[in-house]
Structure 1
Amino acid sequence: MLFAVAIFRHHGIPARGRGGFGAYFNAGKYEDHWVCEYWKEDEGRWALLDAQFDDVFIRNLSVGHDIHDVPHDQFLTSPDTWQRCRSGALDAELFGIEFSQMRGLWFVAGSLLRDLATLNGFEILPWDVWGAQPAINATLSDGELAFFDGVAALTTDPDANFDAMRQRFANDAGLALPHSVFNALRQRREDLFEA
């Protein structure tokens, strides 16, 4: 994803990473995933590119959509997922990582924070944990639900909410990136490096 973002930007095409969930990995489930969102100038809209896929992946997973313009029913961004789960339109237990049996609203909330960081120019790792991200299998309190509702409201349309999103990320201690994060994959704290 990051390499695709860098290539688009090198060619003067606006691009950014988006965290969310792909519907094309395990039938009936939405898997934690990242894509590149890039600006299609000729159509005046953002499109989704899944740079992870090649012909082998496409064939083995029977992917029937254009990986250069992934439909929004095949990849749901984290804020879209959060809002659909909160409204009851989708079941939060369908979202997460199947092979590790980590699923639920707590997982979507963590993805929501990583997506927010990326939208603010901090392209972190999908397994970095900090601040307000819930613990594994946590049941979220009413206050936490309201907190993440607010984050989702800002990131659903990051262009319309650009200034407010950046201010909230910079000024909220639960959202702002600290000097180090917990790498859940390596099970250790790691320092963040600015490029």
Structure 2
Amino acid sequence: MNSTELDISWYTTQSTFTGPGPFAEWVAALAPDPAALREVASGLVFHFWGNGDITEHGFAPQRREEIDLRYAEDIFARLHDLNPAPLDTERAPTERVIGCCRDFTLLFVAMAREHGIPARSRTGFATYLMPGWAVDHTIAEVWDAGQRRWRLMDPQFALGYQDPTDGAPLDLLDLPRDRFLVAADAWNRCRNGESDPARFVVSPDQPAPFLRGRPYLRHNLVLDLAALNKYEMILWDIWGPLDLSTEVDAETITEMDALSDLLRDPATKIDRVRAIFDDGALRVPAVIHTATPPAGVPRPITLR
């Protein structure tokens, strides 16, 4: 997408989801540097399944409920309860909030915006997590004023993370766009035969059909549109065209083709992205449903 100064400045302001609320001063005390903020974010969350059973790391079982914390303000509140030291203080694992890639990114974007740094969440698929697979993932984009472009940054991992596909260090501050595919690129690659939809999954060991292939490519495309409109949703939220179905009908495929083309077009400006989001079922309504893993039983949620 093309970016004007107005488009860029819009991403310096907080959303309902990223605003730190009463913890703004806690965030403001950090250095206003994207690289430093990324490193801070990587130490604030403990992934709810990426390290195995959380109870084996000293967490009480009920802390798994933290994965449904939706707003950065509430996550900062939990972090403050666990350890009120400055946010850039190294935390023990149990002093981190239980969450996933979305939460690392949400906190990074919240911290960046609080410092006036243009930042946004992007949902798509990473090819640097499990060899041979494109895995559901959410990372950040930060505007590079010097190079006049959006840079992909992964807030989840500590510096020195090695790509398991080749053993080489991955540049977490400027990810290649063929290693992280934003959802529109992933959808397009699968539609034109460049990639196999069966390799696009939440996780290879998750057998549920709606968590892989075309249904989940659709899911992430709609989530990424929402994120571009500063609705940084939880990854298991569903609304409008999103559900737990295992097939995507022809009409929806046509609609997703058009959405993918719009988001991939470098001439598309943010006002067009906001217009398509506001039109019809794609917009996030006041009441959504969320299907917390592993049960995945949708329940209604009223958003703030």
TM-score by length of 2: 0.59
Instruction: In structure 1, give the amino acid aligned to 2:201.
Output: G
Confirm or deny: 8 A CA contact 1:24 1:74 kept in the other structure: yes
Aligned with residue 275 of structure 2, among 160, 167, 182: 167
Confirm or deny: 8 A CA contact 2:237 2:291 kept in the other structure: yes
Aligned with residue 70 of structure 1, among 163, 167, 175: 175
Q: Secondary structure at the match of 2:155?
A: coil
Q: Give the structure 2 partner of residue 83 of structure 1.
A: 188
2:120 is the alignment partner of 1:13: no
Aligned with residue 214 of structure 2, among 80, 105, 128: 105
Q: Give the structure 1 partner of residue 55 of structure 2.
A: none
Q: Give the structure 2 partner of residue 92 of structure 1.
A: 197
Q: Give the structure 2 partner of residue 114 of structure 1.
A: 223
Q: Give the structure 2 partner of residue 193 of structure 1.
A: 303
Q: Give the structure 2 partner of residue 53 of structure 1.
A: 157
Most deviating of 148-157 and 91-100: 148-157
Most deviating of 112-121 and 146-155: 146-155
Q: CA deviation at 1:178?
A: 1.6
Aligned with residue 22 of structure 1, among 122, 126, 139: 126
Where do 1:39-50 residues align within 5 Å? 39-50=143-154
Q: CA deviation at 1:145?
A: 1.0
In structure 2, how many angstroms separate the alpha carbons of the residues matched to 1:84 and 1:135?
Answer: 23
In structure 2, how many angstroms separate the alpha carbons of the residues matched to 1:159 and 1:49?
Answer: 23
Q: Which runs of 4+ in 1 moved over 6 A?
A: none
Q: Secondary structure at the match of 1:16?
A: strand
Instruction: In structure 1, give the amino acid aligned to 2:301.
Output: D
> Identity of aligned pairs, percent?
33
Q: Give me the CA root mean square deviation.
A: 2.0
In structure 2, how many angstroms separate the alpha carbons of the residues matched to 1:45 and 1:17?
Answer: 15
Q: CA deviation at 1:155?
A: 2.0
In structure 1, how many angstroms separate the alpha carbons of the residues matched to 2:133 and 2:162?
Answer: 19
2:249 is the alignment partner of 1:141: yes
Larger radius of gyration: 2
Change (3 A) 1:128 1:180: same
2:290 is the alignment partner of 1:183: yes
Confirm or deny: 8 A CA contact 1:107 1:136 kept in the other structure: no
Instruction: In structure 2, give the amino acid aligned to 1:165.
Output: V
Q: CA deviation at 1:181?
A: 1.8
Q: CA deviation at 1:161?
A: 3.3
**Tell me, which stretches of 5 or more residues in structure 2 are unaligned?**
1-104
Aligned residues: 191
More strand by share: 1
